Amino acid sequence: EAGVAQSPRYKIIEKRQSVAFWCNPISGHATLYWYQQILGQGPKLLIQFQNNGVVDDSQLPKDRFSAERLKGVDSTLKIQPAKLEDSAVYLCASSPHRQGGTDTQYFGPGTRLTVL
Amino acid sequence: RKEVEQDPGPFNVPEGATVAFNCTYSNSASQSFFWYRQDCRKEPKLLMSVYSSGNEDGRFTAQLNRASQYISLLIRDSKLSDSATYLCVVNLPQGRRALTFGSGTRLQVQP
């Protein structure tokens, strides 16, 4: 079974530029998550989708971050404009359960973003 | 106060040693509990779920104390391959936020 796919794996941009990350979850998984992991910290949830609807985006900095999952499958996360403090690994995860409750979450390899 | 707190370590132990990690969580409504393992520059992977009765998976034993809001992980007979960061994770009631991670405890097993 193919895992969660993410691209690009690495991205270096200058502050105030824009960047977009892509995620393709495991086939059939209804719930998709984007996490931000800053060096030395645990992952922090940015947004959770169930199919193509947003379940939780309370920790998403909406002035600069946006995400969509238009067809309920793959998803994109965008940052515009980027700040130095956005340097982190952006992890996408998916789980099969409709409510995204206690099912195991499977993580992709992440996109490592460096903002200069 | 952080929602999930862990000692960052590092814990440096020799091969064959027994090592224990502890974790506390602040939200008494937390329903599910996990330990994830994260290797350097890799994604987190589920190590084991944690049940109220305690559970064991080979050399790994997890315990949960709901009254004290405390979770532990015990690793017996440490192997070099156990070197990683161990993330304590809790899950709030359904329909709310997804997994809440601690900052992790780093383990280095030395030959």
Residue A103, class by beta-carbon neighbours within 10 Å (0-12 exposed, 13-18 middle, 19+ buried)? middle
Q: Where are the alpha helices (DSSP H) in chain B?
A: none
**Does B97 lie at the interface with A, CB-CB under 8 angstroms?**
yes
Mean of the pLDDT values across residues B86-101?
80
**pLDDT tier, B92 (very low <50, low <70, confident <90, very high otherwise):** confident
**Residue B71 pLDDT level (bands cut at 50, 70, 90):** very high
Instruction: Please give the pLDDT value at position B96.
Output: 58
Among residues B29, B27, B38, which one has the least CA distance to residue B104?
A: B38
Which residue type occupies A108? G
Confidence of residue B30 (pLDDT cuts 50, 70, 90): confident
pLDDT of residue A114: 98
Tell me the chain B residues in contact with residue A43 when contact means C-beta distances shorter than 8 Å: 44, 87, 99, 101
A62-104 pLDDT, tens digit per residue, is 999 999 998 889 999 999 999 999 999 999 999 886 554 467 8
Q: Which residue of A has its CA nearest to B46?
A: A104
Interface test with A, best of B86, B96, B99 (most A CBs within 10 A): B99
Q: How much of chain B exceeds pLDDT 70, in percent? A: 95
Q: What is the pLDDT of residue A100?
A: 45
Helix (H, G, I), strand (E, B) or coil at A24: strand
- Provide the 10 A C-beta neighbour count for residue A87: 17
Q: What does pLDDT average to over chain B?
A: 92
Q: Which residues of B45-61 are buried (b: 16+ CB within 10 A; e: fewer)?
A: eebbbbeeeeeeeeebb
Q: How far apart are CA B110 and CA B106, in angstroms?
A: 13
Does the CB of B101 have a partner CB in chain A at under 8 Å? yes
How far is residue B88 CA from its own chain's centroid?
4
CB contact under 8 A, B101 and A44: yes
Strands B105-110 and B11-14: parallel
Dihedral of the CA atoms B2, A11, A58, B8 (nearest 10)?
Answer: -10
Instruction: Provide mean pLDDT across the span B6-23.
Output: 95
Q: Do B98 and A100 touch (CB under 8 A)?
A: yes
Would the CB atoms of A48 and B97 count as touching at under 8 Å?
A: yes
Does position B80 have pLDDT exceeding 60, yes or no?
yes
- Beta-bridge mates of residue A34: A47, A92
Q: What average pLDDT is seen over chain A?
A: 92
Mutation target among B25, B40, B43 for the A interface, most CBs of A within 10 A: B43
Interface of B with A in 35-94 (CB under 8 A): 42-46, 87, 89, 91, 94
Burial group, residue B108, by CB count within 10 angstroms (0-12, 13-18, 19+): middle
Inform me whether the pLDDT recorded for B44 exceeds 80.
Answer: yes
Q: How many residues does chain B have?
A: 111
Query: For A22-35, how does the pLDDT look when each residue is reduced to its tens digit (9 = 90+)?
Result: 999 999 998 999 99
The mean pLDDT value for B90-111 works out to 84
- Cα nearest neighbour of B37 on chain A: A42
Q: How many residues does chain A have?
A: 116
- Least CA distance to B49: which residue of chain A? A104
Residues 6+ positions from A10 with CB-CB distance below 8 Å: A111, A112, A114
B102 and chain A: CB distance < 8 Å anywhere?
Answer: yes
Residues whose CB is less than 8 angstroms from the CB of residue B51 and which lie 6 or more positions away in sequence, other chains included: B62, B64
- Number of helical H runs and strand E runs in chain B: 0, 11
User: Residue A43 corresponds to which tokens in the numbers above?
Assistant: 């992952």
Flag if A91 and B43 touch (Cβ within 8 Å): yes
